[in-house]
């Protein structure tokens, strides 16, 4: 999907004043609540407005339809994931490669687990609300953060491999989606996080050594 696809789902206007920001946050939270309670098929702008405590007219000032609402929620979710991983990358700069990868993987798994119910619900609606284009942007953002971090590794002096970073991100995303959709227990998630760290550490060490 192109940038034009994303533009088609974007809000009509961006809140500037504090009151507008509060309204948009209320609408966003209401969208999540309605999505989790009723599902995407029964999510309507009327239901969301009622849950948010605003008029439908007020909602339409920001979001033209329910697909725009869901797009905004999905975008916020991915932005939160991206910010969390970016912060982990900043914190891991100048450390050993294995420690860098550990912090990145754990940050990713933990942020996805904070609201596992939202993650699962959004997987189902993403294809219909510009999800592929948003995911592509997120991958580019995470690739940049991880690549910049890897350049500072204290024990490896190599240029990071874009393909290797993308494959690591795919492994992380795939493992999380599979576990979330299967309804894995907290204990299972802890075990998966531990093994995903090992997998990514081993792979990135081998991939970067191969590029020497």
pLDDT tens track for 71-84: 999 999 999 999 99
Q: What's the CA gap between 114 and 102, in Å, rounded?
A: 18
pLDDT tens track for 92-117: 999 999 999 999 999 999 999 988 88
Whether residue 210 contacts residue 158, with contact meaning beta carbons closer than 8 Å, is answered with no
Question: What is the CATH architecture of 3-67?
Answer: Orthogonal Bundle (1.10)
Paired tokens of 136? 């592509």
Fold match between domain 3-67 and domain 74-210: no
HSE at residue 143, side-chain half, CA atoms within 13 A, is: 15
End-to-end CA distance of the chain: give it in Å, rounded.
Answer: 35
| DSSP per position, 91-148 | HHTTS-HHHHHHHHHHHHHHHHHHTHHHHHHHHHHGGGTTHHHHHHHHHHHHHHHHHH
pLDDT tens track for 139-184: 999 999 999 999 999 998 777 789 999 999 999 999 999 999 999 8
Residue of 88 and 11 predicted with greater confidence: 88
What local confidence, expressed as pLDDT, does residue 19 receive? 65
87 closest CA partner among 169, 134, 146: 146
pTM: 0.86
Q: What's the CA gap between 102 and 39, in Å, rounded?
A: 35
pLDDT-derived band of residue 1, with 50, 70 and 90 as boundaries?
very low
pLDDT tens track for 14-69: 554 556 788 999 999 999 999 999 999 999 999 999 999 999 999 999 999 999 99
**What is the residue extent of each domain of the chain?**
3-67, 74-210
Paired tokens of 196? 């995903």
The alpha carbon dihedral of 126, 129, 133, 135 has a sign of: negative
What local confidence, expressed as pLDDT, does residue 14 receive? 56
3 state DSSP class of 202: helix
pLDDT tens track for 113-149: 988 889 899 988 988 888 899 999 999 999 999 999 9
| DSSP per position, 14-51 | ---SHHHHHHHHHHHHHHHHHHHHH-STT--HHHHHHH
Distance, C-alpha 83 to centroid of its chain = 9
Fold of the domain spanning 74-210: Tetracycline Repressor; domain 2 (1.10.357)
The alpha carbon dihedral of 195, 198, 200, 203 has a sign of: negative
């Amino acid at each position: 999907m192109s940038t034009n696809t994303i533009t088609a789902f974007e809000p009509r206007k961006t809140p500037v004043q504090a009151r507008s920001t509060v309204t948009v946050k209320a609408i966003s939270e209401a969208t999540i609540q309605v999505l989790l309670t009723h599902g995407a098929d029964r999510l309507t702008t009327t239901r969301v407005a009622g849950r948010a405590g605003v008029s439908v007219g007020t909602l339409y000032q920001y979001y033209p339809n329910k697909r725009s609402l869901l797009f905004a929620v999905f975008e916020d979710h991915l932005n939160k994931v991206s910010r969390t991983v970016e912060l982990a990358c900043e914190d891991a700069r100048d450390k050993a490669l294995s420690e860098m990868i550990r912090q990145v993987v754990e940050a990713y798994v933990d942020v996805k687990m904070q609201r596992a119910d939202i993650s699962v619900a959004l997987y189902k609606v993403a294809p219909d609300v510009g999800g592929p284009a948003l995911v592509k942007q997120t991958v580019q953002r995470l690739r940049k953060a991880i690549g910049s971090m890897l350049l500072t590794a204290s024990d490896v002096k190599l240029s990071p491999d874009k393909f290797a970073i993308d494959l690591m991100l795919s492994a992380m995303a795939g493992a999380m989606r599979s576990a979330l959709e299967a309804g894995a227990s907290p204990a299972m998630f802890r075990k998966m996080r531990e093994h995903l760290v090992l997998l990514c550490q081993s792979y990135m060490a081998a991939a970067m050594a191969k590029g020497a």
